[in-house]
Chains A and B, each alone.
Chain A
């Protein structure tokens, strides 16, 4: 069964850039059938989609975060990454990576276990 695994610093200072990576052990990220996405969840709150990328590098971003977000893919390492710039305390959240189909009906499956990123000085 496909697994996704997030990694990166658990603490980021305000105004700095949050950087996370999602690896896909046991599976290939290089499929035209899927996109690879990032979703976050502030403590005690709901889910927010951040953005998605194909293995060719085509991206979709949440308009509310677009100015601060960069998602990239490295097929040689079978991983994709998230960068979120100029972070504030409001960016404190559990960040998940997940896969979704490249079709008219998006659904996220599977999900990584999530990684908590705290923005604090």
Chain B
């Protein structure tokens, strides 16, 4: 059972915007950087966002990240059919006895 909660699915029409939330706590998102990953069907995950809001150079600016308190958000604008994938957040959880890197529960994005 993940300590980071994401909505199971979100959907929108091509060209629209979607946001994916990642809810955690003071021991993880509240004190550590968040990263986001895109996993296309049948493929390995790919880094989209690191350190809350930074994009690797090859990632288009349609993808954005933000963090506030114990939650983080991934935004995708100008939605494309190629964006249909599973998306995961991730961060370090600093709980005393169970410190670990944790991933969110994952969100499936559907382009209508």
Chain A residues packing against B (C-beta within 8 Å): 37, 39, 46-49, 52, 60, 62-64, 96, 104-114
Contacts and interface: CB of A to CB of B under 8 A. Distances in A.
B99 A63 contact: yes
B68 interface: no
B49 to A, nearest CB: 8
Contacts, number: 69
Overall SS of chain A's interface: loop
Given A63-B99, A63-B100, A47 B35 contact: no
A111 B46 contact: yes
B2 A46 contact: yes
A108 B100 contact: no
Interface of B: 2, 32-33, 35, 37, 43-47, 50-51, 56, 88, 90-92, 97-106
